[in-house]
Amino acid sequence: MAARKPVLPSDLAEAADRKRVQQSIAWADAAAGDNDAQFVQLLENRLRGAPASRSRAVIPIVPQPLPQRSFQVHGDPRYLANVRHLARRTGGGLRVIGGEIVPPGDFLDCVAVGNDKQWGCTGTLIAANVVVTAGHCADFATRIYVGRDVSKKGKQVRVAKRVRHPDYNRKGHNDLMVLLLADPVAGVAPRALAGKTLIDKASDGRVVGFGATDGAGMLGYGVKRFVDVPIVSNACKGSVGEQQDRYMYGCDLGQELVAGRPLTERDSCKGDSGGPFYVPDAKGRWLLAGATSRATDSAMSTCGDGGIYVRIDRFRAWVASIPGVVLP
């Protein structure tokens, strides 16, 4: 008879946390009725440790004030509706409230990008010899790392050529760069690109990267993590009241998408720059929709208040025009 796998304390803690999140989502969903804003506030309070009712009856708790960070996002009905949709769809997985370390074998196309001395950005393999990353990562772009933790053994490949978008500027516009590798990456399937229709209809996406894990963006770079985030603006074309997305969030009209933090301040951060923003297709396959660029103009802290992602579909023709690039 095969030996049974021991149940570790960490496994029990994770299972208990998942159950707590599931129960909190169900409770907030019932208590809020059709009010998405109340759902988000009640769930945020519950996950932050607000006291729960001892009664089994659904009795809404007195809302605690939300942090003043991201106040524009919390007033955006698209964000509120998509947070709720994300919570319902994922069924209370930990990714609803925060990032997890990517399991072995998943998202191999997400690579670390660095210079000869250190690692500092993230990118996505879109062809065997092509990585797309952020334009502002030019100083961290002489090699890539394929693996889960840059402190561990993994495959490294030199960058043969860097091509930053010709209209890039340091304020964040056209923040995209293509890396042509000296050798093709074997054993890793390049990530397929999402099309316009899929991105326009997406309500949420998955961010993967090697970035920092603290709100100041100073600590934790080097381990590949993922988090699911609700989309606020799919193409920076909407508005809330009289204020257009491009002025409220600082995104580029038609060329970028905005995604807010889900709950408890999980978000992309420093070191995730250039990394993938995936959206699922009808078959559940993750396709590349965007590259992590920067925080929104409404952000009140370095990380955790939502981010702006360059839409790859809007730059596909430029990427394909670069000599040496052959997209699958």
Classify burial at 211, counting beta carbons within 10 Å of its beta carbon; exposed 0-12, middle 13-18, buried 19 or more.
Answer: buried
| Contact (CB, 8 A) for 182 and 160 | yes
- Of the listed ranges 2-6, 45-49, 108-112, the one predicted with least confidence: 2-6
E strands, the chain, in order: 100-101, 110-114, 119-127, 130-133, 143-146, 155-164, 177-181, 204-209, 225-233, 239-240, 243-244, 256-259, 276-280, 286-295, 307-311
Cα 251 to Cα 257: distance, rounded to the nearest angstrom: 7
At 126 the pLDDT is 98
Give the per-residue pLDDT at 49: 65
The pLDDT of residue 301 is above 70: no
| C-beta of residue 319 within 8 angstroms of C-beta of residue 327 | yes
Domains in the chain: ranges and CATH:
13-100 (no CATH), 110-188+317-321 (2.40.10.10), 191-314 (2.40.10.10)
Across residues 309-318, what is the average pLDDT? Answer: 97
Q: What is residue 54's predicted lDDT score, i.e. its pLDDT?
A: 29
C-alpha closest to that of 131 among 161, 172, 155, 170: 161
First to last CA, the chain: 47
For 153-181, how does the pLDDT look when each residue is reduced to its tens digit (9 = 90+)?
889 999 999 999 999 987 778 999 999 99
Using pLDDT thresholds of 50, 70 and 90, give the confidence band for residue 240: confident
Among the ranges given (132-136, 206-210, 254-258, 277-281), the one the predictor scored with the smallest mean pLDDT: 206-210
User: What tens digit of pLDDT does each residue of 84-134 get?
Assistant: 888 777 665 544 334 678 899 999 999 999 999 988 899 999 999 999 999
Mean pLDDT of the chain: 79
